[in-house]
DNA sequence: CTGAAAGCGCTAACAC
DNA sequence: GTGTTAGCGCTTTCAG
């Protein structure tokens, strides 16, 4: 293993001080163009590689950003990640990623790891199951910005990037009602997660505003997995009278329900109209095509990352202090599964 | 901002030397259990956080692993990532992720960034378009292990984790032939990518072994996007006689073709039998269900990461030196789209 | 089993 | 514009 080249070696080579070399390398304005060039040339020639550890140690910044998400292998979340990566790379930040696999315990471990690796900022989509954000307090104490997206904790003063879930499901529900549905079933996930709690609200409000009585039995809790269609459909069919509308909180599960219903010879949308959520690929591939809510996942990643980086690069670090919630635009996309 | 606690502070507190504190903190065997405990307690009480920059600077290791993939938002690749994350986190390594978005230029930039952030090892799925791996030479020179997965460069002595793409398509082709197909079209991506080149071979071999003449016009190049079905189908239908089998190199695109064919009132599998690739969710959601090759993506992530980490943790760093290729098991899954 | 001392490579005061 | 100096906080010989 050949020895590492340091700024001292370069300094010796060009007959200048290490300081000047350091300054030249980081493009400091008070270095003569001439010498800057000389140094850069020497650096390249000697195969110099800046030592980021030493630099970080001195500057107390890692130029890296941590992300904690529930699951990497989800169309929605991986798309958010892609947006984040784009922006981070562009801005010269490294992305350190870990997943909580929906476990609070793992989320806590991940947070600790991120803290110990001294990320400059943290982006989190909560594992759900609780609003507890105590495990991020080391960040808060050290004023390391933490920004939540999609799944945000309630009742706190962290910044969050979200869509208006209440309004989205309100729109979807209203649409179904307009299409003539009277008995709409809503399938959603863990109500401890803001996303689903908000959607339930939107569902209730829409019913209310259209003079339909809300009934507890029309709300089904599910893991929203791609395999759960049969189970959900079975449960739906015990209802009497049978429902004529179905609102499922993600497209994979909605598609699974759609397939299960078709296997039971129930016609979509005539017998039951369906609306999903996310606008994943799958929504365009099932038959009939699934109506859904377009969730701007990639864009959400971009926006979250942009705001975090702006905050970090801002001299006064006050951008996020002043921002509570950033709400992105969603959109109801009506397709064959609900248009009758 | 309150001052950081260092091992010196702890040393003063417990009346020992920084050296001993350092040793205790890293669980060095030659420290008395008693003092170890005392130090750990003090550390916790004082809110000590190890400074990873200083540690890395000294030890010349970052405890982080870089990953460069073409696209984060792909079902296949995000699943690989999930497997990698699992293992890396478990072993105490951070995952630094960046995407090349299929551009060699970005891949080069990413490689440089990874090199400069001094990852201990690198996992790469090539952007394709070239076998050039010159941009990884800084890693090679410094003996930083680089392990390729899925899309591996040919003709080099790097370790790669792959499936036997040739055999996979051989199996699929043979299956179609057994189902009575005589004119099988193969849709694949950029032939500069090993994955597709290998598959083309498998296709040719299978035809040969079953006495069917290979025809150039039956090979269609595509970006394999989820929107390309119409275009591909149009092209297929210009063939005369019409093909009766279709082999598409990924499920999203296969599904898209399937839909397009159905729109043209072509029956699946009676008129044309279809086999996809990857076993993505979509393959189980279209009708008829798509036959496909199960590609163990999550497992591939695990295996690649495990081997890299074993190598890093191995005293002699020779694990990867001795390994050329790790081939995972694939499996042909036969479903409605090709069973007749 | 513990400690003293040196240094990893860089940057930021502070001089000139 | 450039240089001197002093650490950042940790680990690792080498000594005892």
pLDDT digits (tens, 9 = 90+) for A177-194: 999 999 999 999 999 889
Q: How far is CA B303 from CA B5, B69, B339, in A?
A: 39, 16, 33
Contact B79 A62 (CB under 8 A): no
Domains of chain B: 7-50 (1.10.260.40), 63-163+297-327 (3.40.50.2300), 165-296 (3.40.50.2300)
Kindly report, residue by residue over B99-150, the tens digit of the pLDDT. Answer: 999 899 999 999 999 999 999 999 999 987 667 889 999 999 899 999 999 9
Span A29-74, pLDDT tens digits:
888 998 999 999 999 999 999 999 999 999 999 999 999 999 999 9
**For residues A74 and B327, what is the distance between their CA atoms, to the nearest angstrom?**
26
Contacts of B79 in chain A (CB under 8 A): 72-73
Residue A38 CA, distance from chain mean position: 45
- Non-local (6+) Cβ contacts of A305 within 8 A are A65, A83, A84, A86, A87, A88, A123
Cα–Cα distances in Å, from A310 out to A121, A218, A306, A307, B274?
11, 44, 6, 5, 49
Do A210 and A175 form a contact (C-beta atoms < 8 A)?
no
Is B57 in contact with A62 (Cβ distance < 8 A)? no
Q: What is the C-alpha to C-alpha distance for residues B240 and B86, in angstroms, rounded to an integer? A: 50
pLDDT tens-place string over residues B234-288: 999 999 899 999 999 999 999 999 999 999 999 999 999 999 999 999 999 999 9
Decide: CB of A72 under 7 A of nucleic strand C: no
Q: What is the pLDDT of residue A132?
A: 85
Could you tell me if B102 lies within 8 Å of chain A, comparing CB atoms? no
Residue contact B82–A72, C-beta within 8 A: yes
Chain B residues 296-335 within an 8 A CB cutoff of chain A? 298
- Asked if strand C comes closer than 7 Å to B19 Cβ, the answer is yes
Angle between the N-to-C axes of helices B297-313 and B75-90, in degrees from 0 to 180, rounded to the nearest 10: 30
Give the whole-angstrom CA distance, residue B64 versus residue A113.
11
Does at least one atom of strand C sit less than 7 Å from the CB of A18?
yes
Whole-model pTM? 0.94
Nearest-10 crossing angle of helices B194-209, B165-178 = 40
Q: Which residue from B1, B57, B142 is facing A53, i.e. has the nearest CB? A: B57
- Is residue A316 over pLDDT 80? no
Q: Which value, in Å, is the radius of gyration of the alpha carbons in chain A?
A: 26
Q: Residue A41 CB closer than 7 angstroms to strand C? A: no
Q: Which of A49, A62, A287 sits opposite B116 (nearest CB)?
A: A49
Q: Chains A, B: CB contacts under 8 A, how many?
A: 148
**A 180-219 → B contacts, CB under 8 A:** none
CB contact at 8 A, B335 and B283: yes
- Whether residue A116 lies within 8 A of chain B, CB to CB, comes out as yes
List chain B residues with CB under 8 Å of A78: 72-75, 77-78, 81
Residues facing residue B26 across a β-bridge? none
A113 touches chain B (CB under 8 A): yes
Smallest Cα distance from B236 to chain A, Å: 20
Q: What is the pLDDT of residue B322?
A: 81
Q: What is the rounded distance in angstroms from the CA atom of residue B210 to the CA atom of residue A263?
A: 38
Pair type for strands B64-69 and B121-124: parallel
Distance CA A246, CA A184 (A): 6
In contact, B186 and B200? CB cutoff 8 Å: yes
- The residues pairing with A326 across neighbouring beta strands, listed in sequence order, are A161
Q: How far apart are CA A128 and CA A101, in angstroms?
A: 10
SS3 of chain A: the string is CCCCCCHHHHHHHHCCCHHHHHHHHCCCCCCCHHHHHHHHHHHHHHCCCCCHHHHHHHHCCCCEEEEEECCCCCHHHHHHHHHHHHHHHHCCCEEEEEECCCCHHHHHHHHHHHHHCCCCEEEECCCCCCCCCHHHHHHHHCCCCEEEECCCCCCCCCEEEEECHHHHHHHHHHHHHHCCCCCEEEEECCCCCHHHHHHHHHHHHHHHHCCCCCCHHHEEECCCCCCCHHHHHHHHHCCCCCCCEEEECCHHHHHHHHHHHHHCCCCCCCCCEEECCECCHHHHCCCCCCEEEECCHHHHHHHHHHHHHHHHHCCCCCHHHHCCEEEECCEEECCCCCCC
pLDDT > 70 fraction of chain B, expressed in percent and rounded? 99
Q: Confidence class of residue B1 from pLDDT cuts 50, 70 and 90?
A: very low
Q: Which of B85, B284, B285 is nearest residue A98 as measured by Cβ atoms?
A: B85
Name the nt closest to A23 by C-alpha to C1'. Answer: C11
The C1' atom of D1 and the CA atom of A155 lie apart, in whole Å, by 54
Query: pLDDT tens digit string along B53-87?
Result: 999 999 999 999 999 999 999 999 999 999 999 99
Angstrom distance, B86 CA to C10 C1':
34
Query: A292-294 and A331-333: which strand pairing?
Result: antiparallel
Contact yes or no for B170/B145 (Cβ under 8 A): no
Sign of the C-alpha dihedral computed for residues A97, A100, A104 and A109 taken in this order: negative
- Whether residue A119 is preceded by a cis peptide bond, meaning omega within 30 degrees of 0, is no
Whether residue B53 and residue A56 make contact (CB cut-off 8 A), yes or no, is yes
Q: Which chain B residues are Cβ-neighbours of A49 within 8 angstroms?
A: 115-116, 138
CB contact under 8 A, B143 and A62: no
Per-residue confidence band for A202, with pLDDT thresholds at 50, 70 and 90: very high
Amino acid A2: pLDDT? 58
* Percent residues over pLDDT 70 in chain A: 99
Tens digit of each residue's pLDDT (9 = 90 or more) over B219-237: 999 999 999 999 999 999 9
Which residues are registered as beta bridge partners of B99? B69
Task: Say how far A3 CA is from D11 C1', in Å.
Answer: 19
């Amino acid at each position: 293993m050949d020895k590492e080249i340091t700024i001292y070696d370069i300094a010796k080579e060009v007959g200048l001080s290490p300081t000047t070399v350091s300054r030249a390398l980081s493009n400091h304005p008070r270095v003569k163009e001439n010498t800057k060039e000389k140094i850069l040339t020497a650096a390249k020639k000697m195969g110099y590689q800046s030592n980021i550890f030493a630099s970080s140690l001195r500057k107390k910044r890692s130029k890296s950003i941590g992300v904690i998400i529930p699951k990497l292998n989800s169309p929605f979340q991986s798309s958010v990640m892609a947006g984040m990566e784009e922006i981070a790379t562009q801005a010269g930040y490294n992305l350190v990623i870990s997943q909580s696999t929906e476990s609070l315990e793992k989320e806590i471990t991940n947070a600790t790891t991120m803290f110990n690796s001294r990320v400059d900022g943290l982006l989190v989509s909560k594992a759900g199951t609780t609003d507890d954000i105590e495990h991020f307090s080391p960040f808060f104490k050290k004023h390391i910005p933490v920004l939540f997206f999609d799944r945000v904790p309630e009742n706190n003063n962290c910044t969050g990037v979200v869509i208006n879930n209440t309004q989205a499901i309100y729109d979807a529900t209203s649409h179904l009602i307009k299409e003539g549905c009277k008995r709409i079933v809503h399938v959603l996930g863990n109500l401890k997660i803001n996303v689903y709690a908000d959607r339930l609200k939107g569902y209730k409000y829409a019913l209310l505003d259209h003079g339909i009585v809300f009934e507890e039995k029309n709300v089904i809790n599910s893991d929203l997995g791609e395999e759960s269609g049969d189970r959900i459909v079975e449960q739906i069919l015990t209802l009497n009278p049978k429902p004529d509308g179905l609102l499922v909180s993600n497209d994979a599960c909605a598609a699974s329900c759609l397939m299960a219903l078709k296997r039971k010879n129930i016609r979509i949308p005539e017998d039951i109209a369906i609306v999903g959520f996310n606008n994943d690929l799958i929504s365009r591939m099932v038959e009939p095509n699934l109506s859904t809510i377009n969730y701007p996942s990639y864009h959400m990643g971009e926006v979250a990352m942009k705001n975090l980086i702006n905050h970090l690069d801002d001299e006064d670090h006050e951008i996020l202090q002043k921002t509570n919630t950033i709400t992105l635009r969603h959109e109801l996309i009506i397709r064959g599964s609900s248009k009758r």
